[in-house]
Amino acid sequence: MTIDVTPTEDAEARLAALVELSRRARALADAVVLTDVPESEVTAVAAELAALTERLGALRRESPRSFELGPGGVPRNVGNAVTGSANPHALPLVVRVTPERTVRAELSFRPVHAGPPASVHGGVSAMILDHLLGEAVAAAGFPGVTGTLTLRYRRPVPYGEPLVATAEYTRSEGRKTWAEGRIALPDGTALAEASGLFVTPAGWLGRGAGDETGSKSGQAPVRER
C-alpha cells in the first residue's frame, strides 16, 4: 500500500485533517449506535471500515499526541480523551478559565455516551468531571493527578441537550489539592456533582506540570507551597 504522508507536509494542515477525521469518526460512532439498517448493510459497512482502519494503520505513532505547543506558543493536548480535538473518543470538551480561575465548559453528550435508558453513563459523567476538576486545580496553580474522585448523581444526565460543567479549586495542603465541580442544566440545576483530591507528583514541583520532559509544555508552573 502506498503511504501518502511525506515529511514535508505542513504539520498544522495535517492536524486540521486529523481533527476533521476525528469529527467524522464521532459522527460514525453515533451512527453505529443508532442505525437500524438491515444486517447486509451493517456487514458491508463493517468491511469498508476494516479497510479504512488498515489504511490509517499503515503508518502508526507509538502513542497518541500529548501536550505540545501550538501556534503562538499556546499549549494544547489534541490527543486527550476528554478535550482532544484529534481524538475521536473526546467530546471534545472546550474548557475555559474564568477571571476568578474557576473553569467552565459548555457541552452536549451524544448517543454514543448512553448508559441507562435515555441518559448518559455515569462513568462518562465521572470522566468529564475528573478532567474538569483537574483543570480547576491546574488553573489555581496546583496541577496534579487524581487521587480520589467522589460523585453524587442527583438526576439523570441527558444526551443531546446543552449542559454546563463547572469546577473550582477549594483548598490545598502540601502536595494535595481539593476541587469541586458539577454538570448542570443551563438554568443551574445540578445533575451530577463531584469532589476530588489531586496529588502533585513530587517530580512536577518547580517546573511546568504534566510535562515529563521539562517545562516546554507551557503549562502553568506549580505554585509555591
Give me the residues that bind ligand DCC (CB under 6 A), please.
Answer: 75, 130-131, 134-135, 138, 145-148, 174-176, 197, 199, 201-202, 210, 219-220
Nearest residue to ligand DCC, by Cβ distance, number only: 134
Q: Is the CB of 185 or the CB of 205 nearer to ligand DCC?
A: 205
CB of 122 to ligand DCC, least distance (A): 16
CB of 165 to ligand DCC, least distance (A): 13
149-187 as b/e, with b when 16 or more CB fall inside 10 Å?
bebeeeebbebeeebbbbbbbeebeebbbbbbbbbbeee
CB of 32 to ligand DCC, least distance (A): 26
Q: Is the CB of 130 or the CB of 180 nearer to ligand DCC?
A: 130
Sign of CA dihedral 120, 122, 123, 128: positive
Count of C-beta atoms within a 10 Å radius of residue 3: 8
Q: Is the CB of 88 or the CB of 134 nearer to ligand DCC?
A: 134
CB of 86 to ligand DCC, least distance (A): 16
Distance (Å, whole) CA 88 – CA 32: 14
